[in-house]
Structures are given as C-alpha cells and as structure tokens.
Amino acid sequence: MSAKDSERTLVEQWRGILTLHARTQCELDRALHGHGLCASDFEVLDVLAGDPSPDGHRAYRVQEISERVHLSQSALSRLIGRLEKDGLVERAMCPEDRRGVSVALTPKGRALHGEVRPAQRAVLARMLTD
C-alpha cells in the first residue's frame, strides 16, 4: 500500500468516526428531548450517577466532570448552571479546596437519570453495534 493510500485510509477512518459520532449525538438528542435533556446534559447526570459513595451521595469536582464529558470549562459551567436551575444538581464548595466547586445529583436528578438511562443505553446499543 502506498503512503498516499495509507493516508487516504486514515482520513476515511477519521471521517467515519466523526459521522458515527454526529449521528449518535443526533439520535441521543432526539431520544432525550422529551425528557427535557440533551445528550450533554445526560452525560453529566450519568457521570454524577456513577460510583456513589456509601451514603449514596457522590460529588465530583467540576474539573473531574470536564475530563469525562469533553466540554470546555465554560460550556460545562453553563450546562451545570442549567441543571442546577432545573433542580437536577447542586453545587457546593469543595471541602478539601475552597477554591474548587463540587457538583452532585439531587434526588430529582437521580430519579430523572434512572428514568432516562434505558433510552440512552438503547440508542447507544443500536448505533454502536451495527
């Protein structure tokens, strides 16, 4: 295979990944819209719902969430603000570092996550197993 063919294959693979991502995002947004969420909203709820502490209340620093949902700090801050306004998350000062902010699900957020999770997982299964 020539270098040019190899390069073309890489570009085609990359474009295939981008296409799959875009289609999956659109499908997720459609499936979640009826619940008042978009795909990014759900991703934040899903991160916050994972690995709860023994008391069932796990808080994450905004930086930790940012690393997992791949949003800029400013976009994530706006998203968290919307989720907080809707009563789905709560923000607090980090006890370990007063400069940091931690975010946790509220009971309403945990309930909505549980309700919407099957629809999100079904879209992922349909889009990613073909």
Give the angle subtended at the CA of 126 by the CAs of 124 and 130, to the nearest 5°.
115
Q: Is residue 66 a contact partner of residue 79, using CB atoms and an 8 Å limit? A: no
The total domain count for the chain is: 1
Q: Is residue 27 a contact partner of residue 123, using CB atoms and an 8 Å limit? A: yes
- List the CATH number of the domain containing 111: 1.10.10.10
Average pLDDT over residues 44-49: 96
**pTM of the model as a whole:** 0.86
Structural domain of 8? 3-128
Question: Taking Cα atoms as reference points, which of 95, 106, 88, 111 lies closest to residue 61?
Answer: 95
Provide the mean pLDDT of the chain. 90
Distances (CA, A) of 14 to 17, 20, 22, 47, 128: 5, 10, 12, 26, 16
Residue-level pLDDT at 32: 96
Structure tokens at 119: 């629809």
